[in-house]
Amino acid sequence: MRGILWLCLSLILVFSIAAQGCWGPEVIEPPSLTLDDPPPKVDTPSDWDGSDEINSDIGPPSASDDWLKAISRTRQDEKSCSSTLYVDYLLTEPNFTIDYAVFKLDGAEWYTWFATIPQNPLHKELVKEVECNRVYKVDVEAGISSNIAKYTETSQKTVTVPPLNATLQYKLEEITGASSSAYKRYKLIVTFEASDLTRDENSRMTRVTLKGNGDTWSEATSGLEFDYKGSYQKDVTAGQVFELELFVTDAEGSEYTYSTTATVPASAYMLTVQCSDGGEVILSSPRGQYKVSPGRTDSGPVVPGTTVRLTAKAQTGYVFKGWGGNLTGDQNPASIVVNADKSIKAYFIAASEIDTPPAVCPVCGNPVNQCTCR
């Protein structure tokens, strides 16, 4: 009986050892690492004293250039250039609050913001008038924190003002054979060029628009590359004035506008001559002669810059008194340069209306009829 008991105990012990070998705790192999894998890293802020454990789920934020955007909008003409710098800063980080932000322009403090209450995200827009043809550096330093750590984030942008450039020119060509009169017709030919000064693939030109007196004459939105040339033609009439503007924009939102004024010269100015009764006026110019009869008012076109000679001829019993309007004095004949619309009056009066002083004796000085020296 005792032998049987020992046999049972021995069998139980054997099965127990075998069970531990087959169904014992699972051994987990560590993940394999290669030389290409970077070592684990946890950034520790400089002011952390080690009293709190850094939660690996709330590590330092990742820097992003998208936080800071800076563009310019520039207007230029033949005499002046003005530009405005626009800065847009948007900082958002989960699990952090934003404590402060300092903006600097070319190293000088521009704007500082401090949080009075926890804030996230932070969005600031700044505007400043700046000089043209310069490169500006915008720096932003922001302080952010969580309940266990503090960090400082910096962003920087370099802005070329303006990042775009444009030239705008025009010329006028006379349309020949249109008319034999003094009036002329012209063709306005506008040529323009636009360039992306930064040569940045991410901010290349997206639109080039030519406008005349506010109306769109030409617009290109594709195939611009870094340089673009265009032209536009239009038949115009004498004396018209066109305010020409060339708008250029890039992918980041910067704008450049160049403007100039195209003045179509007047092909003819109107010369008006009015004669009073008692005389006529003869007008002489390279185009010939024209007579204005007594008591009439006549008008006609004259090529700009033409010199017209006016001769007043009094009828019998009348005398020429003088000129009025755009010509003064009593010089006869007289000349005038027609460089604008002109109006001239010729005055004649009856000879009887002229007061003739009595003859005076050269010896005593008395009127002849009262002379005492005879």
pLDDT attached to residue 357: 64
* % of residues, the chain, pLDDT over 70: 75
Torsion of CA 174, 176, 178, 179, to 10 degrees: 90
CA angle (354, 357, 363) in 5-degree steps: 160
Q: Cβ(68)–Cβ(85) under 8 Å?
A: no
How many CA atoms does the CB half-sphere of 33 hold within 13 Å?
6
Walk across the sheet containing 269-275 and list its strands. Answer: 297-302, 269-275, 342-350, 318-325
Location of structure tokens 């009025």: 324
Tens of pLDDT, residue by residue over 200-214, are 888 889 999 999 999
Tens of pLDDT, residue by residue over 113-160, are 998 887 888 999 999 999 999 999 999 999 999 888 888 989 999 999
Name all domains of the chain by residue range, CATH numbers in brackets: 65-161 (2.60.40), 164-263 (2.60.40), 269-351 (2.60.40)
Q: How far from 47 is each of 32, 53, 55, CA to CA, in Å? A: 35, 14, 16
Tens of pLDDT, residue by residue over 305-351, are 889 999 999 999 999 999 999 999 999 999 999 888 899 999 999 88
Centroid of chain to Cα 190:
18
Phi, psi of 34 (to 5 degrees): -110, 170
Pick from 2-11, 251-260, 357-366: least confident: 2-11
Question: What is the Cα gyration radius of the chain?
Answer: 47
